[in-house]
Structure 1
């Protein structure tokens, strides 16, 4: 039995199929066992070859990649890495693919394809490796364009007063990577309109966080937007680190302020959870709540422990509900977790704690 990760490449471009197959076959731990130029051919190939992972182009003839992905995840759930074009439409469609169950995506360049894909080779094979061990679930049919819904078993929080006058002091910090876009959605849609401010780092390249924020803003009771350098962090708002930048917090008098800059990658990531969480430990201290969601690697784990040491209360997603239990496992190993919970219980637990803090008139629990 081969221990290699067996990959099928689905793309309507012969050049892309050839390049991806070559990149995959250069790796000792994986092999491209087939390529398909459209989803109908891919369907038969998947049935015959039973690959471990497929890479899937977003836009293809005969059947759109998103339509194919939706059917695949309902009927035969398996790890999928989307190959997306770095355009506004490509970003929107990629968000839809992640919502349908794709594990991750790679943004392919619009020009200089051969050189561009080879430069992305490390990212492509890393994401295939992560996908091969990801927990993939059967997609449940739901209308994500409808009114706010958590998409999980926990009910959405009612839009009632949560913190009142305490809300400007408290701040919620969320970190996530692989599988995080849907995990973040599930947390945010449960937060009431007067939630404390929320700051978020999700590992994502430039050009995709705009669509991610816009999608969440249409689903949530709070306002969701990309963070802008120098803006005041306000209650009832969630701020997402723009892809390809570093995002951290500063203080201006009594206010929290967003700092978005072109800092160096940290733990190979830009944006990095470590950067955001470290600033929360220094700037927010005991008024912070940390949340570590699904993701590969250890980004943010050490800084989450710094948050805890500074007085924050931290929630970590449990293994059973994670797509990839890397970052949460590391946070737990660092002693950073106050509670380890299934994804759909994190927001209700946080809301209950915040309401308790209000009733106790500023006393820390």
Structure 2
């Protein structure tokens, strides 16, 4: 429902076809809550129009004169991040261009019909305006330049022969949106092959998460796959939430299992980071470790706070290393992050805290046994254990 007197969503359409620009303008301007404030035939013109009109959302083609749309998207997300919906004949499901657009930070993609463009666009009109609304709702953030950290390149992964079952120990969870595909890759490449199960939500449409997981599997020490309903979560394996399905965790005895849910969107996303984080807070509590990475909007902030309140260790990516400092910023403002760290330190902090947590449980069991059988020595043991723990925490 449209809110009366609410400001309209301002859209800039960038496409080298005059007929496509006209058709998109007609489709968008029929809606009472949005309007096309300008059109551009190439990115060079678009750059000046962005400064002039400050649009809320950009629709962007790929094949254009003077500058490729993907090259423009990369520059835009680095220097002036804003919600972008790609509308191109090259953004077919599973295509390399689609994968690259989502990696660079496009909010969503729509495949432009190859023939009968006007008729085809009209058939896609509801999809187009809904994705524009979702992009606008993800919030447009400050357009300050981002300090980009150098990516860490690792040799070919060395992983265990096969993942193995856990004994109800730690879970690692990661959530991301705009710019998250490369951030997730960097984190997974740095996690050790012996890591606890890792669950990942990246805002991505249906049809793209399987190839995303396969690509990560080629470079990560972990076994990476798209999550499947009811499968056990194994040590040394990372699970990517399928596009258009929420990912949750269920604990049965000492084993965790993946649960998929096609319920309503949360924060305008399915999969939603909040859904995963809330589930992990309930099922794993202090045995979980979570990181909220780059992205527009606020998805994951409430869930990260629930995790922290349940005793989990929580991280937010810092502003300097984010493509878009939206989701982490919201988490920090809510007090959801135990720590704020640059991207290159996220994996070490997650892995270090997981290792420390396991040692804490070993120490607590040993302390309990000594207290039971040798009460007179328990006080000295606890004092020594406390000193060791303090030194261990300082090392991390």
| TM-score bin (small chain) | 0.7 to 0.9
Deviations 1:78-129 (A, max 9, x none): 7572335663343x32222344x34433334758421423443142255367
Give runs of aligned pairs for residues 135-150 of structure 1, distance below 5 A: none
Taking the aligned partners of 1:268 and 1:300, their CA distance within structure 2 comes to 12
Q: Which residue of 2 aligns with 1:152?
A: 150
Taking the aligned partners of 1:84 and 1:139, their CA distance within structure 2 comes to 30
Please state how far the C-alpha of 1:154 moved relative to its aligned partner: 5.2
Change (3 A) 1:19 1:77: same
Q: Which residue of 2 aligns with 1:96?
A: 100
CA RMSD of aligned residues (A): 3.9
Q: Which residue of 2 aligns with 1:195?
A: 195
Please state how far the C-alpha of 1:306 moved relative to its aligned partner: 1.9
Change (3 A) 1:65 1:43: closer
Q: Is the 8 A contact 1:94 1:105 kept in 2?
A: no
Q: Is the 8 A contact 1:300 1:331 kept in 2?
A: yes
Q: Is the 8 A contact 2:165 2:255 kept in 1?
A: no
Give runs of aligned pairs for residues 278-289 of structure 1, distance below 5 A: 278-289=278-289
Q: Which residue of 1 aligns with 2:235?
A: 235
Q: Which residue of 1 aligns with 2:251?
A: 251
Asked if 1:117 corresponds to 2:139, the answer is no
Deviations 1:268-324 (A, max 9, x none): 321111211111011111210011112233223222222122221111112232233
Asked if 1:10 corresponds to 2:14, the answer is yes
Change (3 A) 1:68 1:271: closer
Taking the aligned partners of 1:122 and 1:188, their CA distance within structure 2 comes to 33
Q: How many pairs align?
A: 343
Asked if 1:133 corresponds to 2:141, the answer is yes
Name the SS for the 1:21 alignment partner.
helix
Taking the aligned partners of 1:342 and 1:23, their CA distance within structure 2 comes to 42
Please state how far the C-alpha of 1:338 moved relative to its aligned partner: 0.7
Deviations 1:145-183 (A, max 9, x none): xxxxxx83557599599xx99786111011122222222
Asked if 1:322 corresponds to 2:287, the answer is no
Give runs of aligned pairs for residues 166-315 of structure 1, distance below 5 A: 169-315=169-315
Taking the aligned partners of 2:210 and 2:339, their CA distance within structure 1 comes to 31
- Name the TM-score, length of structure 2 as normaliser: 0.71
Name the SS for the 2:190 alignment partner.
coil
Asked if 1:34 corresponds to 2:39, the answer is yes
List gaps (5 residues or longer) in structure 1.
Answer: 37-41, 141-150
Q: Is the 8 A contact 2:78 2:145 kept in 1?
A: no
Name the SS for the 2:335 alignment partner.
coil
Q: Which residue of 19, 24, 29 maps to 1:20?
A: 24
Q: Which residue of 1 aligns with 2:379?
A: none
Larger helix share, 1 or 2: 2
Q: Which residue of 2 aligns with 1:148?
A: none
**Pair member with larger Rg:** 2
Name the SS for the 1:347 alignment partner.
helix
Asked if 1:87 corresponds to 2:85, the answer is no
Change (3 A) 1:226 1:58: farther
